[in-house]
Structure 1
Amino acid sequence: MSASTEQHTKISMKLGRIGYLNVLPIYEPIESGDPDVLGDLDFEIVSGPPSYLNDRMAAGELPISSMSSVEYGRRHEQYLLIPDLGIGSRGPVQSVLLLSRKPIKELNGGGILVSAQTHTSATLLRMLLADHYGLDSLRYTTGNATAILESGERPQAILCIGDEALTLRRHPDYPVRLDLGEAWREWTGLPFIFGLWGVSRKTFQEQPAQLRAAARALLASKRAGVAKLPSLLPAVSQTTGMTVDELTDYFAGLVYDLGPEELDGLRAFYAALARHGIIDSAPALEFIDI
């Protein structure tokens, strides 16, 4: 094989993608084949809700992927994080919502339906309601909120995330809405990071150069996607039913960087998980060196 041919050999790799609108700026340049972002990489996108990607990462089936923040907390020894890449909010997030038929403080003793798609948001909700609202007698069940509502059932309260939350947030039977990003900010004064991007430690030991290249591509895609986001929104509006103004407001509330304040918020979340006995101890944040 000549040096020229070898130079242009594509590096194929599976890449996990949250199947929600909120990560559009991170993945759009990759998915549209931007050569300045991809270089010699050829990604096979594996898409699904956070819980699905968590399971695939834990099973060692994805070398690089987005994951729930709680997944890193539970199995951090299996992962290295990609620096300066996350999905969260500094206040209202709009797509992680507790929808209730009665005031939040009147929920004690009742039940909450939790989307099966979430791990981090479900854990955050339990801690928020216990510590911030003093609600310690709640029943949690897991299910498909959209399907249950379409069947005519009306649970007392529903935790929904992602695109489902954007669809259900103005449901007339659920006049009370608790935005978990906003509630966390009120509780701690910090941003909340719902998701992270990481690589398999095992795969990184075997293919460090390839995974560093993939991590750099994701960061380049984030920068390019955020820059071109306004030009993408008219087409997104056609497929989501949200107006361009609504989409602009939604994306303005999201953060994709892991700056000092975001990292403090992440550490505070892990400290709370440890305090509640959900994890043994708060993990160190270990990043891939790119």
Structure 2
Amino acid sequence: MQELSLYQKDYLGKRIMTKKLRIGVVPYMNAKPLIYTLTQQSDSVELLFEVPSLLPEMLNNDHIDVAIIPSIEYFRNGNYAIVPNISLSSLGTVESVKIFSKVPIQNIRTAALDKSSLTSCTLTKILFKEYYHLSPQYTSWNNQYDISRIDTDAVLIIGDNAMRASDNGYFTLDLGQAWFEYTGLPFVYAVWAVKKTHRMPDINILLQNAKECGMKLVKTIAADESQRLRFPYEKCLNYLTNSMKYNLGKNEIKGLQTFYHYAVSLGLAPQGVKIVFNET
């Protein structure tokens, strides 16, 4: 078990005296380095796992105190504050956000979007319109385990299921790589966020510490995920160390702002939303 810092012990001790810190998390491998050590603190932290599209509503309704939310929902809601220095992002190939198509990408006329990911759906629409000059008809789809049954030209799949699906027989498009080719920037899929009206600056250090500890234990996490998902260990380790990035620095923020700009231009997000951090 990872040794807690004095700050964590003090902070978690205070939470025990009041209530558990309720944390909303996606159930995918990509988030495990951010929460690995928190799973060992069940006396003071309660982790609630849900698909990305449902976590913002849980946060809005105060069912959780902090959540990993889709980056597009930060801009659509306008009532969140971002925990600094942490994100789920990529710089190039991401592996877990992919289009599988029966036809060459430039021939796509219909596409089914995995409704569990709001950010990836928005990213798909941006890249198809701006990069590939496509305007397909979109439908929602959540049959995440059998892409052979789709009746559209293409389908968007995210998370562990995207890594599990076979490329055999399909034209594939990695959206992280496509975004990087188009903009030269990182893409931020999700951020830790709290409600602006319930800011908790103290948790910034807690979550940052958890991220740093998780990255130090990434080989252990990769081994656990390999067993859970029945993926090769090397595949999990490469994904967690090369495909996924966990910082939120200047370049990631620029990527986030660029994504917002395109979303606004296509009418997929409201204008005038600023990036606000979970600070006093």
Q: Does the 8 Å CA contact 1:274/1:282 hold for their aligned counterparts? A: no
Structure 1 segments, 4+ long, off by >3 Å, are 147-150, 152-155
Shift of 1:225: 0.2
1:27 counterpart residue number: 35
Q: Does the 8 Å CA contact 1:113/1:145 hold for their aligned counterparts? A: no
The Cα offsets for residues 10-49 of structure 1, whole Å up to 9 and x where unpaired, read as 142211111111001000000023xxxx9xx811111111
Within the candidate set 231, 250, 257, 2:239 is matched to 250
Structure 1 residues 282 and 19 mapped into 2: Cα distance closer, same or farther (>3 Å)?
farther
The Cα offsets for residues 199-246 of structure 1, whole Å up to 9 and x where unpaired, read as 112222xxxxxx223332111100000111113322321121111111
The reply to whether residue 240 of structure 1 matches residue 236 of structure 2 is: no
Q: Does the 8 Å CA contact 2:145/2:161 hold for their aligned counterparts? A: no
TM-score for the superposition, normalised by structure 1: 0.86
The Cα offsets for residues 58-105 of structure 1, whole Å up to 9 and x where unpaired, read as 3343221110000001112x1111000110100000000001111100
Gaps of 5+ in 2: 1-11
2:156 counterpart residue number: 159
The reply to whether residue 217 of structure 1 matches residue 206 of structure 2 is: yes
Structure 1 residues 113 and 59 mapped into 2: Cα distance closer, same or farther (>3 Å)?
same
The Cα offsets for residues 153-188 of structure 1, whole Å up to 9 and x where unpaired, read as 5542110000111111x24342x1101110000111
Q: Does the 8 Å CA contact 2:32/2:221 hold for their aligned counterparts? A: no
Within the candidate set 195, 205, 213, 2:190 is matched to 195
Q: Does the 8 Å CA contact 1:116/1:144 hold for their aligned counterparts? A: yes
The reply to whether residue 177 of structure 1 matches residue 175 of structure 2 is: no
2:44 counterpart residue number: 42
Q: Distance in 2 between matches of 1:59 and 1:179?
A: 34
The Cα offsets for residues 109-166 of structure 1, whole Å up to 9 and x where unpaired, read as x311111201010011011101100112x1111122335547x455421100001111
> Who wins on radius of gyration, i.e. which is larger?
1
Shift of 1:54: 1.9
Structure 1 residues 52 and 129 mapped into 2: Cα distance closer, same or farther (>3 Å)?
same
1:73 counterpart residue number: 75
Structure 1 residues 69 and 229 mapped into 2: Cα distance closer, same or farther (>3 Å)?
same
Q: Does the 8 Å CA contact 1:112/1:157 hold for their aligned counterparts? A: yes
2:5 counterpart residue number: none
Q: Does the 8 Å CA contact 2:112/2:140 hold for their aligned counterparts? A: yes
1:229 counterpart residue number: 218
1:98 partner SS: strand
The reply to whether residue 279 of structure 1 matches residue 251 of structure 2 is: no
The reply to whether residue 270 of structure 1 matches residue 270 of structure 2 is: no
Q: Distance in 1 between matches of 2:225 and 2:204?
A: 26
Q: Distance in 1 between matches of 2:59 and 2:75?
A: 13
Q: Distance in 2 between matches of 1:25 and 1:216?
A: 15
1:16 counterpart residue number: 24
TM-score for the superposition, normalised by structure 2: 0.89
1:62 counterpart residue number: 64
